[in-house]
Structure 1
Amino acid sequence: MKKLNHKKAIITGGARGLGKATAIAFAKEGIDVALTGRNEEALKTTIEELKTYNVAAIYTVFDVSDYQSVQKGIKKIIDAWGDIDILVNNAGIAAFGTVNDMDVNLWTQIVTTNLLGMYYVTKEVLPHMLKKNVGDIYNVSSTAGLNGNPTTSAYSASKFGVIGFSQSLMKEVRKNNIRVCTLTPSTIVSDMSRDLGIINEDTLERTLQPEDFAELIVSSLKLPRRAMLKDAALWSTNP
């Protein structure tokens, strides 16, 4: 399969979990990577690891839920690189609680980060892809965006929204040779899933790993430009 050398990618929430695994997978393919996130020390550590693959790697610190910060952060990356080929909207937060019990501020923060944050970043990157008339956008939703369950109203609402946003965006920009793919993974082993207590440590090795999904993203990038992976749900085989 073809290599992806010299392409430039932005990955939000790139310091750990799926974002970090995707960044490493990209670097192995020769893709230059710009990471965004809120934890500067974690971003620095990941950047140093990426540089061992002899690619350009930079970072910028911002909260995707703050549009002005997003504007400044994306401008910093564009000023450094000139353009962007790939955007992975991965940044997100989660918490569980019933509609009755969850604090309004937390519920709102989850939706703002996961849905509006994705929109804010895409809004700033998209004009550069439209100008080039080519690009790839990956929006990370979840199986929680396909089915709501007790205590997941905020997270599910945000991830349902991601799917709707992605489907609309895909139909808007496919005529510009921009491929938009919606990803709906089941539970992935990560710091977030551990913090939420939804990982079964006894079946850890059988549970979906961040590297598994990163491999899927890289494979889809190698499809001929005439072919687009519209959406993908990757599940653990036997967790």
Structure 2
Amino acid sequence: MEGSTKYEKQEVAGKSIVVTGGTTGIGRATAILLAAEGADVIIVGLDEQHLNDALEDINKTAKGQVHGLLADLATEEGIKAVFEKVDSTFDRLDIFVNNAALPYGSVTEGNYNEWQRVINTNLLAYLACTAEAVNRMEPNKEGHIVNIGSMSADVREETSSVYVAAKSGIQGFSESLRKEINPKGIKLSLIEPGAVDTDMQAESTEQKKENVENLEMMTADDIAYAVLYCITQPKRCDVAELKVRPHLQLI
């Protein structure tokens, strides 16, 4: 409009992007969308078949280069492998999407080793990957971290205490770190979805499809477009926190 501030949308084409948990669900949908928009993308996964399938899907519509990596983000070695891949593939790192996660229920179930693996993957990996990403973005005085959290950080379901602990940690971590890295020119967006039709949900495929049709569940594509929205806003505008819910998930 005449006299208004120009809306200077940032382009994704040509950006160097990493998506953890990029072989299934939200991560896979996000990688497909960003590569189709012209980004160069590295996806990180844990299962070789899932990785191969995802690369095949992404390359069907990709306009940018697509790379895959098998790495266990529950380990220090896995984190190191991710950034060795980043440094050998990209001249710079523009966007890092922390998405890898494992489902889990209550702390009254399982054992220490299981809890440790979930917390390492769902929370510590976010911290470690973000630290490495920020180190690479800071010299350029720009970059964007996107953390995929969960409604569980607010709803705090009684049967999901381990998962809730991790997602609540991501929420607090994101709110705190944004204040630290914004002056360095680096953005941080926290996206907290409600129920999404992915492998993380225990229901059958048929039940999840019905939930989507009944507006009680979203698709992975819905969250991929939320990621795209966050990273394409003008430099003056940060989407610091985005809560995305199915229309009839009344929580």
What TM-score do you get using the length of structure 1 for normalisation? 0.92
Q: 1:81 pairs with 90, 106, 112, which one?
A: 90
How far the C-alpha of 1:196 sits from its partner, in A, is: 9.1
**Which aligned pairs between 1:31-70 and structure 2 lie closer than 5 A?**
31-52=39-60, 53-70=62-79
Q: Once structures 1 and 2 are overlaid, which stretch shifts more, 146-155 or 18-27?
A: 146-155
Where does residue 18 of structure 1 map in the other structure? 26
CA distance in 2 between partners of 1:101 and 1:46 (Å): 32
- CA gap of 1:124–1:2, structure 2 versus 1, over 3 A, is closer
List per-residue Cα deviations over 1:187-229 (Å, max 9, x = no partner): 10001213699x6553233221110111111122221101000
- CA gap of 1:200–1:43, structure 2 versus 1, over 3 A, is closer
List per-residue Cα deviations over 1:3-51 (Å, max 9, x = no partner): 4210010000000100001001101211111000111221122223322
Number of residues of Structure 1 aligned to a counterpart in Structure 2: 237
Counterpart secondary structure, 1:11: strand
1:122 to 2:130 alignment: yes
CA distance in 2 between partners of 1:5 and 1:132 (Å): 18
**Which aligned pairs between 1:84-103 and structure 2 lie closer than 5 A?**
84-97=93-106, 99-103=107-111
Structure 1 spans left out of the alignment, 5+ residues: none
Where does residue 3 of structure 2 map in the other structure? none
**Which aligned pairs between 1:69-218 and structure 2 lie closer than 5 A?**
69-97=78-106, 99-194=107-202, 200-205=208-213, 206=215, 207-218=217-228
List per-residue Cα deviations over 1:84-136 (Å, max 9, x = no partner): 10110000001213x33332322222112100011121122211111111011
The percent identity for this pair of structures is 27
Contact 1:177–1:225 (Cα < 8 Å) also in 2: no
Counterpart secondary structure, 2:88: helix
Counterpart secondary structure, 1:194: coil
RMSD across aligned positions (CA):
1.8
What TM-score do you get using the length of structure 2 for normalisation? 0.88
Contact 1:64–1:118 (Cα < 8 Å) also in 2: no
- CA gap of 1:196–1:233, structure 2 versus 1, over 3 A, is farther
CA distance in 2 between partners of 1:26 and 1:230 (Å): 20
CA distance in 2 between partners of 1:201 and 1:6 (Å): 35
Q: 1:225 pairs with 221, 230, 235, which one?
A: 235
CA distance in 2 between partners of 1:156 and 1:83 (Å): 34
List per-residue Cα deviations over 1:124-179 (Å, max 9, x = no partner): 22111111110111111101112322121100000100111111211111012211
How far the C-alpha of 1:64 sits from its partner, in A, is: 0.9
- CA gap of 1:76–1:55, structure 2 versus 1, over 3 A, is same
Structure 2 spans left out of the alignment, 5+ residues: 1-8
